Amino acid sequence: MTLEELQAQLENGTLGDPPPPIHRQFAKSPQEFPSIPCEDGRPDCRATPSVLVDSRTMYDWNGEGEDPNRDKIMCRECAADYNEQMDSQWADYNNGRM
């Protein structure tokens, strides 16, 4: 699609809605674990089904103890909240606010 075609769609209102942010798309993915409760979301959340969420941290880890950068097991709601929080934190970091 050319820039002119996009501009024309934008002007006449046929461009459509933009896709949801990637973390919202992931939170609706079909890959889920029906019998595993949310382990890494809010402290009181034990909802099922759960999804495996990629870690979005880059803590220095020496290999001892629990890996702080391990992937997380969360219900879809906690996964979306986690990704929104990480989007905000990474934006702050990348813009020099952290």
The tens digit of pLDDT for each residue in 7-45 reads 777 677 776 655 555 445 554 554 788 888 998 888 899
Q: Determine, yes or no, domain membership for 85.
A: yes
Helical spans, DSSP H, in 1-98? 3-12, 22-27, 76-94
74 in a domain, yes or no? yes
List, in sequence order, the alpha helices (H) in 41-96.
Answer: 76-94
Domain, as residue range, for 94 = 31-56+69-98
Helix (H) or strand (E) segment spanning residue 56 = none
Asked if the structure places residue 20 within a domain, the reply is: no
Confidence of residue 88 (pLDDT cuts 50, 70, 90): very high
pLDDT of 87 reads 93
Answering whether pTM is above 0.85, one says no
Judge whether 47 lies within some domain: yes
% the chain with pLDDT above 70: 78
What total of structural domains would you count in the chain? 1
Confirm whether 13 is domain-assigned.
no
Any domain includes 4: no
